[in-house]
Amino acid sequence: MHEVTVCDSLLDLAEETARKHNASCIKSIKIRVGEISGVVPELLQHAFDICSKERTMTNRARLIIQRVKPKALCKQCGTEFSPDDFVFICPGCGSPDTKLLQGDELVLDKLELEVEDV
């Protein structure tokens, strides 16, 4: 259950960014969660529902989670493939020498802010 820690970090980062933009509140927080990031989106949402209410900047904010499927690249033959069931062996040439292109990310993508007229 490290989702609470991840959620706190997300709220800190969102709040800090919103302040830099002179926002009065955050309307929505859009994030990307890789399917092999180790974070369970449902648990993160649950943590968000509780933790976001404790901060005035985020207490009306909506969390939008975009899940990202893992994609890998074979360093030997250049085949791009989906490492289903965490098998990171290239389906093209059988090499295990592969690089993860996406799927382990935890990224704050966009914020929708309410900014008061100056």
Partner 1 sequence: MCEECGCGEANEVEVEVEQDILSENNRYAAHNREHLDKHGVFCVELLSSPGSGKTTLLEAVIGSDPGLNISVVEGDIETQRDAERVRAAGADAFQLTTGGACHLDAKLVHGAFHHIDLEKTDLLFIENVGNLVCPAAFKLGAHQRWVLLSVPEGDDKPGKYPRAFREASVLVITKTDLIEHMDFDPDKAEREALSLNPYLKVFRVSAKTGQGIPELVQYLKQGVLSKKA
Residue among 38, 78, 91, 92 that touches partner 1 (CB under 8 A): 38
Q: Which stretch binds partner 1 (CB under 8 A): 12-20, 47-55, 58-66?
A: 12-20
Cβ neighbourhood burial of 42 (10 Å; 0-12, 13-18, 19+): exposed
User: By rule CB under 8 A, what string of x and - marks binding of each residue 90-109 to partner 1?
Assistant: ------xxx-x---xxxxxx
Q: Evaluate whether 61 touches 52 at the Cβ level (below 8 Å).
A: yes
Task: Measure the CA–CA gap between 59 and 13, rounded to whole angstroms.
Answer: 15
Using CB under 8 A, list all residues that contact partner 1: 1-2, 5-6, 9-10, 12-14, 17, 21, 23-24, 27, 31, 36-39, 85-89, 96-98, 100, 104-117
